[in-house]
Amino acid sequence: MFLPMDEIVKKLDELHIECKHNDIIKFINEQEDQDNVSKNVEINWRLARAYYNQSDIEENKDVKLKYIQTSLEIINKFILTNEHPDLYKWWAISTSGLGEYLGAREKIGNAPKIKEYGLKSLELRPKDPVTLFLLGRWSYSVASISWIEKTVANTLFGTVPNATYQEALDYFLGSYEIEPNMIRCVVSIADCYYQLGQHERAKDNVILFCKIKDIDPGFVLINGIKYRIFGDESLDQEIIYDFFQTKPVYLNKKENRIKDIVVSRECKYVDLVYTWVNGSDPDHLRARIKASNITNEFMFSTSSSYRDIGTLKYSIRSVRQYAPWIKNIFIITADQIPTWFDTENPDNVKFIFHKNLYRNISDLPTFNSNSIESNFWNLPVEVSNCFLYLNDDIFFSRPVNQNEYFDENFKQSVLLSESAMERKSEIKYENYEKSILFTNRALASIWGQDRKRKMPAHGIQVFNRKTWYKIQEDFGNGLEITSANQFRNFTDFQISHLYIQFAIRYFKPIVNLTPDVLYILLNNENFDEKLQLVKTSNDINTICLNDGLEFIDDELQKKVDDTFNYLFPIPSPFEKMT
C-alpha cells in the first residue's frame, strides 16, 4: 500500500525526535512508492539528515565516512533545483563533517560554499538555532586558520576565508537565545570568550556547562587551559572534558605515550630509515594512474621517477659493509616487499607500512616523498631517537664512522650545501625549489626573520626524533598540509629543509657545509662512463646514483647489477638465494 507523502514525513519526524536514525533509513527504503519517494524534497532532506546523524553515532571511521558521503549524495540531487532551507543547511553540515577526512587544501576550498549555503538557509529561515550554530562553528574555524593554511588558500584559490571570534560568538549567542537546551552553544560561547580574552565570562559558561553535565569534581579544559571548577585543590582526581573537540587534539593517547617515551630517552645507538617504492609494481602503477587521472600507463612504467632498478638491495649491502655500527634498518613503504627479500630471515631489517606511519590515513595512497617525510614525527617507538635517513639510490662508498653524523654524546650534524635559494626569478623554478621558497616564507612568518637559508645537501639526512616532535608542535598544520598532497606540489613544505632549520634554531647541531657526497645522474648517453665513475669513486663517503635514464633494458640492468655486485659482493642474510 502506498502511504501519502505527508504521512511518511510525519512518521520520519516522529522517528527523528526519538533519534532512531537507522529506522528512518529503513522506513524510507521499505516504501513501495519509491518513484515518488525518491523525488520528494521533504522526504529526502530528512533522509540525508538521518544519514548524517547516524554518522555521529558510528565509531568505525570508514562507516562514518560512508554515511556522510551518502548524505551529501542525496542533498546534491536536489539542491540546484530547489531553494530549501534544510537542503542548504544539511549540505553545509555534511560538507563540514566531511572535512575530518579531507586535507587542509580541500577543507579550505570548501569553506566559502559552506558559508554561502549556511547564509542562504538562514535567509529562508532566520530563527533556526542549528543554522546559527553552524555559522558560529564556521566562523570559529576560519578565525582559527593558521598563517600556513591562509598562505596555501591564497596560493591555490586567490582568496582567503575571513571571520572573527566576535562573529562566531554572535552566532552562538543567537543560537542559544532561541534554543537554550543546545548545550554545545554553552561550550562554544565559553571558547569564544576565552579567545577574546574575556576569561571571567568564559569561566561563567564553563561553570554553567559543568552544572548541566554534572561534572564534579575535577578540571575542565578549554584550549589546553585547565579550569578547576569544583572540588578541593588537594584532590588527585582529574576529569578532563574536551568540549566536543571544539579545538583539535593533535596527539591521541597512543601518540602521546610514544612521545613521552621518545622525549624522555637519550640516544644509545643509531638506526637507519629508508623510504622505498617499487613504482614498476602493477598494483602501485594502477593506483598512481587512478590518483593522477592520467591514463598513459607506459609513461608511468618507464619514467625514472617511478621505476625501480633494484638499488635498495645494494644500498643496504653498502651499509653493512661500510657502516656496521648502524643497529636497525627500517624501510618505509606502501605495503610492498622487495622480491629479493626473504621475510623468513629479516635479520635487522623491519618494514614500516604507510598505513601504520600516517596519522591521517585518508592521505593515502601517496606518491609524494614530502608527504611521507611529513609523518616522520609519528615513527614507531622502536626507531632510535638518532637515525640516518637515506633514499634507496644512496650508497656508502668507503668506511664511515658514526662521529661523522653524531658525536660521542650523540649531538647531531646537519649537512648543508653552500647555496641558498634566491627569491628572484621564482617563476622559473621547479616544484622542489618553489617548495624551498614556500617553506622559507612560512619560517619567516612564524619566526619573524625573512632571510636566505642554506639548502640541505643531497644525500644522507641526519635526524633526531626530539626535533621532529618540536616541528610537529610548532608546525603541525604545515605537516598536515604536506601530508595531504598525493603528488609533489609547490605548496609542499620541503621537509628536510624544514627539519634542518628547526634543528639549527632550537638544538644547536654541528653544521657541516662540506658533506662528502658525489651526485651522479645516470643517463643513456654516458651510461658506461657514469657506472665506471661509480666504481672508481672510493675516496668519498657516499654516492647518490640518480636514475635519469630515458629507458632501461635487460642489458643495461645487468650492467647496473654487475657494477654493484663488484662494489658490494657480500649478499645480506635476508637476500633470497638465486
pLDDT tens, 543-578?
A: 999 887 888 889 999 999 999 999 999 999 999 986
Strands 517-522 and 542-547: parallel
- Judged against a pLDDT cut of 80, whether residue 203 lies above it is answered with no
Sign of CA dihedral 238, 244, 247, 249: positive
Tens digit of each residue's pLDDT (9 = 90 or more) over 521-547: 888 888 889 899 999 988 889 999 988
The predicted pLDDT at position 226 comes to: 44
CATH number of 258-413+456-465+488-495+506-567: 3.90.550
* Strand, coil or helix: 50: helix
The pLDDT score that the predictor gives to residue 306 is: 55
Strands (E) across 130-224 are located at 218-222
The per-residue b/e assignment along 497-525, b for 16 or more CB within 10 angstroms, e otherwise, is bbbbbbbbeeeebeeeeebbbbebebeee
Residue 295 burial by Cβ neighbours in a 10 Å radius (0-12, 13-18, 19+): exposed
| DSSP strand pairing (413-420 vs 510-512) | parallel
Q: Work out the pLDDT band at 2, boundaries 50, 70, 90.
A: confident
pLDDT tens column, 338-391: 999 999 999 999 999 999 999 888 889 999 999 999 999 999 999 999 999 999
- Asked if the model's pLDDT at residue 334 lies above 60, the reply is yes
What pLDDT shows up at residue 294?
55
- Give residue 147's pLDDT: 67
Enumerate long-range contacts of 26-33, CB under 8 Å, 24 or more apart: 31/2, 31/3, 32/1, 32/2, 33/2, 33/3
Find the Cα–Cα–Cα–Cα dihedral 408, 413, 418, 419, rounded to 10°: 180
Tell me: the pLDDT tens digits for 23-75? 999 999 998 888 899 999 999 999 999 999 999 888 888 899 999 999 999 99
- Provide, rounded to the nearest whole percent, the portion of the chain with pLDDT above 70: 85
Residue 154 has pLDDT above 90, yes or no: no
Distance CA 572, CA 128 (A): 68
Residue 515 has pLDDT above 80, yes or no: no
Hey, what's the cell of 378?
A: 609519528
Distances (CA, A) of 70 to 25, 42, 89, 110: 11, 17, 16, 18
- pLDDT-derived band at 153, boundaries 50, 70, 90: low
Specify the pLDDT at position 563.
Answer: 94
pLDDT tops 70 at residue 127: yes
Query: What is the Cα–Cα distance from 463 to 90, expressed in whole angstroms?
Result: 46
Across residues 182-204, what is the average pLDDT? Answer: 83
Query: For residues 487 and 187, which has the higher predicted lDDT (pLDDT)?
Result: 487
Enumerate residues 6+ apart whose C-beta is below 8 A from 260. none
Per-residue pLDDT at 424 exceeds 70: no
**Which pLDDT score is estimated for 347?**
93
Positive or negative torsion for Cα 373, 375, 377, 383? negative
> pLDDT by residue (tens digit) across 216-245?
434 444 444 444 443 333 222 233 233 322
Q: Kindly give the pairing relationship between strand 326-333 and strand 270-275.
A: parallel
Give the per-residue pLDDT at 448.
72
Average pLDDT, the chain: 84
Q: Is the predicted pLDDT of residue 438 greater than 90, yes or no?
A: no
